[in-house]
A = this chain, B = another copy of it.
Amino acid sequence: MVLDRLKQVAQHVTGATPSPHPFDPLSAAEIEKAVALVNKEHGPLYYNAVTVLEPRKAEMLAWLTDPIHTNRPHRVADVVAIRKGGTVYDGLVDLDEDKILKWESNEGVQPLITMEDLQIVEHLVRKDPKVIEQCALSGIPKEDMHKVYCDPWTIGFDERFGNKVRLQQALMYYRPHVDDSQYSYPLDFTPIFNCDTQEIIHIDIPPVRRPLNQAPPNNYHPAAIEAEGGYRKDLKPINITQPGGVSFNINGRIVEWQNWKVHVGFNYREGIVLNNISYNDKGNERGIFYRLSLAEMVVPYGNPEHPHHRKHAFDLGEYGGGYMTNSLALGCDCKGAIHYMDASFVNRAGASQIIKNAICIHEEDAGILFKHTDFRDDSVIVTRGRKLLISHVFTAANYEYCVYWIFHLDGTVQLEIKLTGILNTYAMKPGEDTHGWGTEVYPGVNAHNHQHLFCMRVDPNIDGPENTVFQVDAKAGPGEVGSAKNKYGNAFYAHRTKFATARESMSDYDGSSSRTWEMANTNKINPYSHKPVSYKLVSREVPALLPKEGGLVWKRAGFARHAVHVTRYQDDQIHPAGRHVPQTSGEPSQGLPEWIAKHGDESIDNTDIVLWHTFGITHFPSPEDYPVMPAEPMTLLLRPRNFFLKNPALDVPPSYSLTPSQIAAKKGAVSNVDKASRAV
């Protein structure tokens, strides 16, 4: 609307803070405003989350298309709060009109466990007489209770307790010294904590007891390394510098880099959210993705003994990838020229709090981008690649997840995740058999088999919101060897299967057929290849969900049953395991299965769709992963196919180029070789 434009002009003139972009996370001030409005009407409350409600897509697309003549979408806070006694409220607050749009109480629902929720438990566990008794049985005298630690987890789901009462399970550990890694001293019992009454309501005690581990500490801190011979001294520094500055521009939270344009959001659940990703194709700004995020994950552990089935953390839905985000340090987590963004959240009391340097944005050299030498005369071109990384790192109790969204010069978007941190461990008694459910990674320390399964949510916008998904399999051509149509047996082709409905789209990975999935705009045909413009999902780390059909994990983590699901776009379908994940029974299964049960026969052909991709690794621990795990990377690509008319990076200045005519003329080579390099 003109009004909005006038407001912006006025801000420009008066020097006031510009309006936030509708995709921006709530600022600290907006969070506090939302809390004030809610508190006035409904307080006192414990705040679980106050986050931006992203604008409804229809409204947002209208505004993005014509911001001058369209109403700017209102800033709306999505509020989750808990009243003493346990009632959970979901609310919406319009921050432009200072108005509570929605305020609903919910039964049988538990919102995620915040860092503050986690921090409370250990303190109380140490004082609980029954816990003290169990510690004594394990061999820990009561005067050593300050050496007892716990990693509080959501309970997942336990049918004995249901979902009416908000619970945590305390995975118990011991530290001989405050600096010792507790994961070498797991205890064998599991207290259950009521978050509302702040009491231990039960302790799960295994039938076979395992006393406190007697092995010496297994540490990774400097004192331990020094005691074992010290640090290696022969690693010489590698300096990475950009004396001319970086190659990206940032306007608010919109990053522009090498024809790419992307809005970098962040929320407490998903962490980084990338919106409105476009590529400037020779002056034509073409939409590619409306939204990309890691939307959910589940880490099922494979030991069937009670109560390990409860270990299947939904780290995003049950704890929050944003809430658990590290404050990054320059020259540690990232090297080079770094731009950081902070993150603002609400705390339990309703105040805002900030994680400094939550998001890291930087460039890296990416090796050879393309090269070709003509064998006749050694005429050559060699051009180096570059990538832009938008990353955050979050700590989920023992594990860390490093998430890198990477933009490439060739139009590819890559998601790389590195797993590091510490294995979840359980106690073993001397000589105990793991029965294959885990590995003894250190004497007395059993690290259970587990999977890390991530669900990436892709809202494609391939030259517009009307898209269609095809499964593509490499297949041998028809005709037996010797037949006229396939005499030598070499025929093969890309077999394309269009997904007409969400139900049809539930598909698994097939490595042998090099299976990929194409998000295409069938209304727009590449004039050269006569194929629809598309982006292809190339993902090769796609294990099957190992927990069995009908079992607890299978029921709760419906998104993980298949590598790909495609649904018709709906504004509130963001969380594939549901809005509130802790203590869901999986009956019925929330999120994707629920949506597909309702809408699974609607057409998803040539309409606004969302692709959900579950990928990850199966982790059988070994001693090399311990006491702290070297980063294990996994990656996937979203690659342009028939989207561009040619390699879009041809105009990246070559390091060196020499043509046949220049060779003949003995002059004219183009050389931009890196002057900082040295031969040694």
Q: A677 and B232: CB pair below 8 A? A: no
Binds B, one of A24-32, A61-69, A483-491, A570-578: A483-491
CA distance A364 to B365 in the complex (A): 10
Q: B544 and A115: CB pair below 8 A? A: no
Within 8 A of B (CB), among A227-253: 228-232, 234-247
Distance between A392 CB and nearest chain B CB, rounded to angstroms? 12
Q: Which of B540, B551, B660 touches A489 (beta carbons < 8 Å)?
A: B551
Report if A526 contacts B (CB, 8 A). yes
Would A642 and B670 be within 8 Å (CB), given that A237-B243, A547-B489, A548-B476 are in contact?
no
Q: Which residue among A178, A337, A370 has the maximum number of chain B CB atoms within 10 Å of its CB?
A: A370
**A-B pairs with beta carbons under 8 Å apart, 30 shown:** A119-B375, A179-B660, A220-B372, A221-B381, A222-B670, A231-B652, A232-B652, A235-B258, A238-B364, A239-B241, A241-B241, A242-B678, A302-B477, A329-B382, A332-B673, A335-B677, A339-B679, A372-B400, A409-B630, A437-B477, A439-B531, A440-B530, A442-B528, A476-B546, A511-B540, A511-B543, A531-B622, A625-B647, A626-B647, A628-B650
Report if A554 contacts B (CB, 8 A). yes
Q: B652 and A332: CB pair below 8 A? A: no
Q: B531 and A418: CB pair below 8 A? A: no
Smallest CB-CB separation from A361: which chain B residue?
B680
Would A490 and B547 be within 8 Å (CB), given that A368-B418, A618-B474, A647-B625 are in contact?
yes
Q: B235 and A302: CB pair below 8 A? A: no
Q: B680 and A449: CB pair below 8 A? A: no
Report if A529 contacts B (CB, 8 A). yes
From DSSP, what is the main secondary structure of chain A's interface residues?
loop
Distance between A338 CB and nearest chain B CB, rounded to angstroms? 6
Would A492 and B651 be within 8 Å (CB), given that A222-B670, A331-B674, A676-B241 are in contact?
no
Q: B439 and A529: CB pair below 8 A? A: yes
Q: A529 and B440: CB pair below 8 A? A: yes
Would A239 and B242 be within 8 Å (CB), given that A552-B490, A624-B641 are in contact?
yes
Q: Which of B247, B329, B549 touches A235 (beta carbons < 8 Å)?
A: B247
Q: Which of B179, B338, B368, B371 touches A661 (beta carbons < 8 Å)?
A: B179
Report if A204 contacts B (CB, 8 A). no
Smallest CB-CB separation from A181: which chain B residue?
B372
A237 cross-chain contacts in B, Cβ below 8 A: 242-244, 674, 676
CA distance A617 to B639 in the complex (A): 15
Smallest CB-CB separation from A658: which chain B residue?
B221
Residues 360-394 of A, flagged 1 when their CB comes within 8 A of B and 0 if not, give: 00011101111111011000011011100000010
Distance between A186 CB and nearest chain B CB, rounded to angstroms? 15
Q: B680 and A338: CB pair below 8 A? A: yes
Q: A487 and B309: CB pair below 8 A? A: yes
Q: A384 and B647: CB pair below 8 A? A: no
Q: B395 and A373: CB pair below 8 A? A: yes
A218 cross-chain contacts in B, Cβ below 8 A: 646
Report if A10 contacts B (CB, 8 A). no
Q: B240 and A303: CB pair below 8 A? A: no
Q: Which of B234, B306, B418, B486 touches A548 (beta carbons < 8 Å)?
A: B486
Smallest CB-CB separation from A328: which chain B residue?
B382
Q: B400 and A304: CB pair below 8 A? A: no
Smallest CB-CB separation from A674: which chain B residue?
B331
A54 cross-chain contacts in B, Cβ below 8 A: none
Report if A430 contacts B (CB, 8 A). no
CA distance A50 to B434 in the complex (A): 55
Report if A623 contacts B (CB, 8 A). yes
Smallest CB-CB separation from A283: which chain B residue?
B229
Would A242 and B232 be within 8 Å (CB), given that A218-B646, A512-B508 are in contact?
no
A661 cross-chain contacts in B, Cβ below 8 A: 177-179
A329 cross-chain contacts in B, Cβ below 8 A: 382, 655-656, 673
Smallest CB-CB separation from A178: which chain B residue?
B660
CA distance A223 to B670 in the complex (A): 10
CA distance A438 to B347 in the complex (A): 57
Q: B631 and A370: CB pair below 8 A? A: yes
CA distance A300 to B477 in the complex (A): 13
Distance between A419 CB and nearest chain B CB, rounded to angstroms? 10
A91 cross-chain contacts in B, Cβ below 8 A: none
Report if A47 contacts B (CB, 8 A). no
Report if A550 contacts B (CB, 8 A). yes
Q: B624 and A337: CB pair below 8 A? A: no
Q: Which residue among A239, A622, A624, A642 has the maximum number of chain B CB atoms within 10 Å of its CB?
A: A624
Report if A653 contacts B (CB, 8 A). yes
Q: A680 and B531: CB pair below 8 A? A: no
Report if A18 contacts B (CB, 8 A). no
Q: B489 and A677: CB pair below 8 A? A: no
Residues 497-523 of A, flagged 1 when their CB comes within 8 A of B and 0 if not, give: 000000000001111111000000000
CA distance A652 to B233 in the complex (A): 8
Report if A605 contacts B (CB, 8 A). no
Report if A640 contacts B (CB, 8 A). yes
A439 cross-chain contacts in B, Cβ below 8 A: 529, 531, 642
Distance between A665 CB and nearest chain B CB, rounded to angstroms? 11
A679 cross-chain contacts in B, Cβ below 8 A: 330, 337-340
Report if A122 contacts B (CB, 8 A). yes
A230 cross-chain contacts in B, Cβ below 8 A: 651
Report if A612 contacts B (CB, 8 A). no
A234 cross-chain contacts in B, Cβ below 8 A: 247, 258
A245 cross-chain contacts in B, Cβ below 8 A: 236, 680
Would A240 and B641 be within 8 Å (CB), given that A229-B651, A487-B309 are in contact?
no
Q: B372 and A514: CB pair below 8 A? A: no
